[in-house]
Every structure is written in C-alpha cells, then in structure tokens.
Chains A and B, each alone.
Chain A
C-alpha cells in the first residue's frame, strides 16, 4: 500500500515537466525519473528515490528553459510538496518494514506530513507573491540580487549537506 502511494507520487513528479512540453529530452528524463524513482520505491531506498527526484527537478528545469513559459507558481509548489511527501513516505515505509504498526500510527503520520506540507505551500505562495511584488518594484536590479541570494543559499546548502554527511543515524539493531 505504501509502495503504491509512493509510486503514485513518483508518477506525479514528472507531470509538471511533461505538462509544459513533452519533447524528447524531457520525455527521456521523465522516463529515467520513473525508472530510478520506481526502483527506489520498490527497494524502499531513500537515496535512490532522491536520485529519481533530482532527475524530476532537472526535467522540470529543462522544460522551463525550453518552453520559456511564464512564471507558474502552482506547478512549482505542487512539485515541491510532492517531493516532501515522497521522501517522507519512502523513509517511513522503509522504517516500518517488517514491524507491527496500526492504522492509527499511519493516520497520525499522514496528518503530520500534510500539516507541514500545507505550511510549506502557504510559505511558497507567500514568497511567490512577495517575489512578484519585489520584481515589479525592483525591475532591472533584481537579477544580481537574486543571483547573490541564490549563490549564498547554494553555499549554505552544500555546507549543510557536508555537515549532515558526517553524521549517521543513531545505531539500532535491525531485525
């Protein structure tokens, strides 16, 4: 059941890119996303699913670049929300594999995830609206600022990844 739900989410990842333009490179990337993401779902492997999700983001970026579509926050936020749900679901499914679990636990987790995703969507909508407002106000001067902020964000991200990579999950004997 969990795998089925995760498979649906993997499929949903490629929809924003294919909806923009189902051209050959995007279709190939979408197919690769489905294959890699599907393998991750079958194996309940978070790293493999992450690789598939990364391909989905690349396919979406490529589609945006090729089509030169106008700013569309809905598809982008939907993609981000799907990524959150997919990672949380696959991680949870991998943890509970072979364990005794009740529907109450699953329902509780689902409520928690949806709550966090709702906050994320609201934050994205707010940022999108704020960004659009700023774009109007600072037309012509926004690109260097955006580039500087994005570069800072990328540096922080890389630092965070390195910090987390040096850590491990708490040891716990698996059955």
Chain B
C-alpha cells in the first residue's frame, strides 16, 4: 500500500499561492502569515504514516435465499496498529438495495481495537449475488493523503425466484407408476372407491361392501383406484427477452416455473426442467426437496444467450422428456423457433399446456408513459390476443399470464378435459 496525495492539496496550495502572490504584490507581510498555517497543514498532511495493519472478516447471514428476502452482512475490522481514519465501502451489486444500515462507513480505531459493522441487503431479483469484498481506504491527517486497497473475499449468495403457492394446478392427463396424489384408472390399493365385485378368496375382509352384500345376498367387495403420481416437465423459453433488468419475461417465467415446480413436488410428482434457448439445459424429472434445489439452481442461471441455431427436440433424451409427461411451457411466444417446438410437441401427442407470459406488461414497465406508448401497448395486446386465439384454434392449450397477478389466478382460468377423477391432494 502506498500513500498518495489527494486533490485537497491543490486547494491548500492554491490558497498558499494567492497569499504569497498578493503579499509580494502589496508588500504586506500579513499575507505571508496567512499562508503559514496552510503550509504547516500541508507538511502535517504529508507526514509519514506508519504502515497500517488490520484484519477484516465478513459474514453473511445466508448463502441461499429467495427474491425479496434479506441478507445481513457483518464485517469485523480489527486494528493491529492505530487507524486514525479508515473508510470502508462495500459496493452493491445490481438489483440489490440497502434495507438497513449503510454500506459505507468510517471508523477510528486504536491498536488492538475491534469494530463490527452490520448492514442488511434486500435482494430484488433472481441472481447469483456476488460480493467481492469491501474497499478499504485509510486517510492521513486532514485528508491530504490516502491509501486504498480492496479486501478480496468474494462471497456468493444464490437468490432464487420467489415461490408463490399454487392451488389450481393443471391436472396431468396421464399418471405414472409411483405412488402419488392422482387417482389412477387402474384398480388396486388406494382410498378412492372404484368398482364392486363378488368376493374372491384372498380379498381382505375390510374391503367387503356390506350394503351391497346385504342387497345381493352374496359377499361383495369394493375395489379401489390406485393413487399415482405424474411426470411434469417445465419447458422454459429463454430465446427472447423483454422488460427491465430483474423484471424481464425470462425472470417472470422463471418465477412461474419455480412456483409450479414447488407445487407439483409437494404433490409427490416428478418434475423436470428444460431450458430452451441459446443453450439447451435440462434437469431430469425427479421428486423431493433435493430435486427442487436442482431445479432452482438451474432456474437461477436461466438467461438469454443469443443464437441463430435452432435446437431440435430430438436432442432431448426420452428420460428427460417422458412421453406420458405433462409439459408446461412458459414462454412469451415471441420466437418462431419456440412456437415450432410447441406445435411439434402437440403433434407428438404430449399433454401440453402453454403459459404465455405477456411481453406487453414487461415492455410497458420500461417504456415511458405517453399516449402514443399507451396506444401502441393496447394495439400490441390486441394483436397478441388474436395471435393466441389462432394458436388455440390449432389445438394448443394456452393461458395468458401478465406476471403481475399471481400465477394461481391465471391457472384458474384453465379448462381441461377431466379424463380421470381427481383426488384431493
């Protein structure tokens, strides 16, 4: 660390120059005396300061959190030698705002003294939040000299998309072989009553339907439907992006995908993810809390990577996109390549629901308020509605979501054929 003169020296020297110049000009010794305290201050400011020594450590209250949650940063500064004036500044990454305290502080420490400095950050958007470490600046007397270094201690915090509870989930048309919350047409062990048939050796006594037995005169048992789970694949479109940083259609879609993943996983379903964009990324369908973590980690990095290349769905292995799966596509429907993927999936007979994230709302948030912009937005919304109706006529199940209202509200408008009875989850 080396000490450098600050621009305050220029101010002092300017005044010294004025005083001496006017003193010579007027022949007054008084003006030379005006300069003396300034010269003494300049000399004192350039006095050699002992090599500063300190230790700095930083702790963060969490390494994983959701959007709009708070993380507390605590810095502990211990002076090995005296620090007359030390300045600390922790630069804030984008989409992060100060919730409590300050990220910029001044301290005066004696040798061996320790100070703890705490501030809280609110993380506004999905991101891999990275704090590289605070700038440390030491000031000499009167602020005439300073030295600066950066305490390099990068720490990251994963800020996952916010998960809102969803009750009106799209029902999968087909179930899988594992136990879950959906009533399967197959008969077996379960709690949902099915057909009644005559008693056969091996039937359990508790399955005897006494009312039917009394009416028909012979023993009858009630059969039950099995409760099965379903495979759900979230298809996230990251080919195009509209909107302000932190509120783009990809951010909104990622938020929706996280909420859907959490809701389906809570119903014991297997949930997978395919990010269809410049890169084709996927997570194999799975269940449980670890799977939710995997999905959130993938959603954290979902972003637009520009490409002219059209990725074919054939590249995706069947274990990632099972034929019986319910595919939930989240897309602004702005890129023709993604539309081709959707029509391809529908043509292959996939159980497909498209959640069309409105780019109009996202674009409106960044456009300036003016009558022309309002009319343009309304025209765009009308054009888009007509476009979605056209897709619906081609057999796609589409629901619109503006990203502002809860996804649950948008999903409530979904009408699906009830092929199977639905068991309460």
- Chain A 54-83 residues near chain B, CB threshold 8 A: 54, 57-58, 60-61, 64-65, 71-73, 75-77, 79-81, 83
Mask of A140-175 contacts with B, CB within 8 angstroms, 1/0 = 000100110011011001101100110111111111
Residues of A near B107 (CB, < 8 A) are 102, 105
With contacts A61-B28, A101-B106, A161-B13 taken as known, whether A127 is within 8 angstroms of B33 at the C-beta atoms is: yes
List chain A residues, Cβ under 8 A from B9.
160, 164
Contact status A116-B40, CB under 8 Å? yes
Complex interface: chain A residues within 8 A of B104 (CB): 98-100, 175
The interface residues of chain B, by DSSP majority, are classed as: helix
Given contacts A65-B28, A147-B24, A161-B17, A80 and B102 within 8 Å (CB-CB): no
B89 near A157 with CB under 8 A, answer no
Q: Indicate which residue in B33, B92, B108 contacts A104 across the interface (CB closer than 8 Å).
A: B108
The reply to whether A80 and B143 contact each other, CB–CB distance below 8 Å, is no
What residues of B have a CB within 8 angstroms of the CB of A46 in the complex?
Answer: 7-8, 11
- Whether the pair A84, B38 counts as a contact (CB closer than 8 A) is yes
Indicate if the CB atoms of A71 and B29 lie closer than 8 Å: yes
The answer to whether A61 touches B31, judged by C-beta atoms less than 8 angstroms apart, is yes
Chain A, range 79-101, C-beta contacts under 8 Å to B: 79-81, 83-84, 87-88, 91-92, 95-96, 98-101
Given A99-B102, A108-B108 in contact, is the A151-B24 Cβ separation under 8 Å?
A: yes
Evaluate whether A64 and B31 lie within 8 angstroms (CB atoms) in the complex, with A57-B18, A83-B15, A100-B104 already known. Answer: yes
A98-127 interface with B by 8 A CB criterion: 98-102, 104-105, 108-109, 112-113, 116-117, 119-121, 123-124, 127
Contact: B12 with A112, CB < 8 Å? no
Residues of A within 8 A of B20 (CB): 150, 153-154, 157
* Contact A105 B11, beta carbon cutoff 8 Å: no
Q: Is the CB of A87 within 8 A of B11?
A: yes
Q: Which residues of A contact B5 (CB under 8 A)?
A: 164, 167
**A105 B108 Cβ-Cβ under 8 A:** yes
Minimum CB–CB distance from A109 to chain B (whole Å) comes to 7
A50 part of interface (Cβ distance < 8 Å): yes
CA distance A128 to B19 in the complex (A): 15
Whether A73 touches B30, Cβ cut-off 8 Å, given contacts A104-B108, A120-B36, is yes
* A131 is an interface residue with CB less than 8 A from chain B: yes
Cα–Cα distance between A49 and B38 once the two chains are bound (Å): 15
Q: Is B148 an interface residue (CB 8 A)?
A: yes
**Interface contact A83-B37, CB-CB below 8 Å:** yes
A76 touches B30 (CB 8 A): yes
From B134-142, B176-184, B261-269, the one touching the partner chain is B134-142
B186-212 vs A: 1/0 string, CB under 8 Å?
000000000000000000000000000
In the bound complex, residues from chain B placing their C-beta under 8 Å from that of A100 are: 101-102, 104-106, 117, 119
Q: Is the CB of A124 within 8 A of B31?
A: no
Distance, CA A46 to CA B85, complexed state (A): 19
Give A123 to B41 CA distance when docked, in angstroms: 11
A84 near B18 with CB under 8 A, answer no
Complex partner residue of A87 from B4, B8, B24, CB under 8 angstroms: B8
Contact indicator A58/B22 (Cβ below 8 Å): yes
Indicate whether A53 reaches chain B with its CB closer than 8 angstroms: yes
**Does B40 contact A57, Cβ atoms closer than 8 Å?**
no
Report B-chain residues with C-beta under 8 Å of the C-beta of A99: 87, 89, 102, 104-106
Of B12, B33, B37, the contact of A117 (CB 8 Å cutoff): B37
Interface residues on A, range: 35 or more
The smallest beta-carbon distance between A17 and chain B, in angstroms, is: 11
Q: Is A47 an interface residue, CB under 8 A from the partner?
A: yes
Chain B residues 16-73 with CB under 8 Å of chain A are: 16-41, 44
Q: CA–CA, A104 to B115, complex, Å?
A: 13
B6 in contact (CB, < 8 A): yes
B31 and A113 contact, CB distance less than 8 A: no
A142 to chain B, nearest CB (A): 9
- The reply to whether B84 and A154 contact each other, CB–CB distance below 8 Å, is no
Q: How far is the CA of A99 from the CA of B7 in the complex (A)?
A: 21
* B25 to A, closest residue via Cβ: A61
Q: Which residues of B contact A169 (CB under 8 A)?
A: 4, 6-7, 146
**A117 CB contacts on chain B under 8 angstroms:** 37, 41
Q: A105-B107, A161-B17, A175-B103 are in contact. Are A170 and B137 (CB under 8 A)?
A: yes
Q: Is the CB of B36 within 8 A of A123?
A: yes
List CB contacts (< 8 Å) of B134-177 with chain A: 135, 137, 139, 141-143, 146-148
The answer, yes or no, to whether B76 is at the interface (CB within 8 Å) is no
Shortest Cβ distance from B146 into A: residue: A170
- Nearest CB to that of A161 among chain B residues? B13
Closest residue of A by beta carbon distance from B140: A112
B25 to chain A, nearest CB (A): 8
B residues within 8 A CB of A121?
37
* Contact between A108 and B143, CB atoms less than 8 A apart: no
User: Chain B residues near A54 (CB, 8 Å)?
Assistant: 14-15, 18
Q: CB within 8 A of A64: which of B6, B15, B26, B40?
A: B26
Listed A/B pairs (21) with beta-carbon separation below 8 Å: A60-B34, A64-B26, A76-B30, A79-B34, A80-B33, A80-B34, A87-B142, A99-B87, A100-B102, A112-B142, A120-B41, A124-B33, A124-B37, A127-B36, A161-B14, A164-B13, A165-B10, A172-B89, A172-B137, A173-B89, A175-B92
List the 8 shortest-distance A-B pairs measured between CB atoms, nearest first: A120-B37, A120-B40, A80-B37, A124-B36, A61-B22, A100-B102, A100-B105, A99-B104
